[in-house]
Amino acid sequence: MTLSVEPAAIADDPWTRPEWDRAALLTIDTQVDFVEGGASPIYGTAAVIPAVAGLAEAFRRAGRPIVHVIRLYRGEDVDLPRRSLLDGGAPIVRPGSAGAAIVPALLPPDAPDLDAEALLGGAFQALGPGEWAMWKPRWGAFHRTGLEAFLRELGVSTVVIAGCNFPNCPRAAVIGASERDFRVVVAADAISGVDERHLAEAARLGAGHAPARVIAGSISILSV
């Protein structure tokens, strides 16, 4: 499906327009198990990885924060629709497994392996300068996590959302960010599972959308 993701989709409104010098990138569930070939593949995720990686590199060059939001399934702290699947032994994003790892193309050089115990305890694990991983227990990146406080401490006002499967976790991240008064930009060609209806729904929450190249270009102006 061809998406209409031109720059004009970012509204020029004083309350919702992106503040690029105060922006952070959130990558959502871009883990090995969710890419084609993984234990629980989401169609189209492999195709958007280059765009997500390009965004991450642009944010690194500009010195802007990146938070890789991930799932880890263990015990009872799994959303109800997935519990039967996990109870049946499905090996999906198990803590410490290769499938739970963030897709390597998105990571900075020399990034450490994920520390599952620290992440499950609520830590933000440093992966590189200005770059972290964090765990979320449900769909939304802000639900029962310290993400809002973490971003506020960094002076972030704007979040760019990219990653895996818009109908579930990226959509929840858009809603969570919007209701906490962050300015939101959806990287429309850097999220699997997105369509025109999703972008229109996000726009009703004040979330703009643009191609990854446009977002990267806006962020790159900040590079030194």
pLDDT digit string, tens, across residues 123-150 = 999 999 999 999 999 999 999 999 999 9
Paired strand residues for 31 = 102
pLDDT at 8: 41
pLDDT at 76: 76
In the chain, how many domains are there? 1
Residue 74: both structure tokens together:
């263990």
Residue 8: inside a domain, yes or no? no
pLDDT at 87: 84
Residue 96: inside a domain, yes or no? yes
Residue 3: inside a domain, yes or no? no
pLDDT at 82: 86
Range(s) of the domain holding residue 156:
13-220
Residue 110: inside a domain, yes or no? yes
Residue 2: inside a domain, yes or no? no
- In this prediction, the residues of the chain whose per-residue pLDDT falls under 50 are 1-2, 4-8
Contact partners, residue 160, CB within 8 Å, separation at least 6: 18, 23, 24, 25, 26, 55, 59, 185, 186, 187, 215
The answer to whether the beta carbons of residues 214 and 208 sit under 8 Å apart is no
CATH number at residue 190: 3.40.50.850
Residue 1: inside a domain, yes or no? no
